[in-house]
Structure 1
């Protein structure tokens, strides 16, 4: 589905708002990332998460999908919407890492503050490691600075844009079974 068609859902304002949000973050990357303002970058990432949350909520409402009550986390709502539409929530790990990374940027002076597991000594952040091929998310020792680079922020914006398109794209219809002449054929 193209971006133009995605905007024709019943919740176009939420989709457009998220797209404007990622454009705003991209426009402010050079200024804020160079200045080292971890709180500003954290606030921008928190706003992207909030806009995705609103998009998921509105899309679910438009499609008659009941989301778990009291689910305040975007990753929980995304997983519920994906499950309802027969899709995998493959991006849940990264979205969860972005949530905790954003929290550390905003409230812990931009330092890794929450281990991935129990008493671990490392934290996975929501952006790929610098200079590494592939999509492996960066790992940081606890209490080390986690400020993303401008390139990493561009990657995060592309991730949110892709999620937004994924959320508003209607689920493809399931193949229907064709029964005739004693044969059962599946046709798309």
Structure 2
């Protein structure tokens, strides 16, 4: 679980900085394929989150969930909702996760042109991040069908921070749920011994 979390955190920092190897203030991703690159980067972050949730399922819900079948599921928002229900936790970011899915598909498959509405019978798509300099947790940017979704460095940084925050929350909640104990290092060779109580 910790390795999956660390992988997502590194990926979010890299993409959120505008693909700068050493991080730093966000910069724009240039080039003729920039939109597709951003879309693909967000797809990769979602995949990292999906794999993290698979690890959580084994630790926290292996006795009530078929973890093999669960790992084959690709709907990350749905998987997180299932895991949180099994732990008796709310899932407040479900709609934003779904909006992020539509946003990355728009970028990757449609070159940033809005082709699909968020809800049947409507003509608008809600993006996975708020407009402009609105608060980070403000309602998502609303676009009409046919509009082009332009991704600013701030937009991308916020999207990556969103994935980072969800990963942090899931790991913290899982540690509490399973009674995770972190022992201090006993020697320079062993390092931190991190053991889940149910594995003792």
TM > 0.5: yes
- Aligned to 2:10, which of 8, 14, 20? 20
Instruction: Tell me the CA shift for residue 32 of structure 1.
Output: 1.0
Please state how far the C-alpha of 1:135 moved relative to its aligned partner: 1.4
SS of equivalent residue, structure 1 residue 127 = coil
Alignment-derived partner of residue 50 in structure 1: 47
Q: Distance in 2 between matches of 1:113 and 1:102?
A: 12
Distance 1:131 1:165 in 2: 24
**Higher strand proportion (structure 1 or 2):** 1
Q: Does 1:136 align with 2:142?
A: no
8 A Cα contact 1:41 1:105, kept in partner: yes
Matched ranges for 1:47-86 at <5 A? 47-65=44-62, 66=65, 69=70, 71-86=73-88
Q: Secondary structure at the match of 1:123?
A: strand
| 1:164 equivalenced with 2:167 (yes/no) | yes
Q: Which of 31-40 and 51-60 deviates more? A: 31-40
Deviation at 1:118, TM superposition (A): 1.4
1:102 aligns with one of 101, 104, 111: 104
Q: What TM-score do the two structures reach when normalised by structure 1?
A: 0.79
Gaps (5+ residues) in structure 1? Answer: 1-10, 174-188
Alpha-carbon contact 2:42-2:104 (below 8 Å) kept: yes
* Structure 1 residues 130 and 34, CA gap change in structure 2 (3 angstroms): farther
Pair 35,89 (structure 1): closer, same or farther in 2 beyond 3 Å: same
Measure how far apart 1:167 and its partner are.
Answer: 1.1
8 Å Cα contact 2:40/2:108 also seen in 1: yes
Match of 1:182 in 2: none
Deviations 1:8-32 (A, max 9, x none): xxx1110010001101102325241
SS at match of 2:169: helix
What TM-score, normalized by structure 2, do the two folds share?
Answer: 0.75
What residue number does 1:5 align with?
none
Structure 2: 5+ residue stretches without partners: 20-25, 178-200
Conserved 8 A contact 1:33-1:148: no
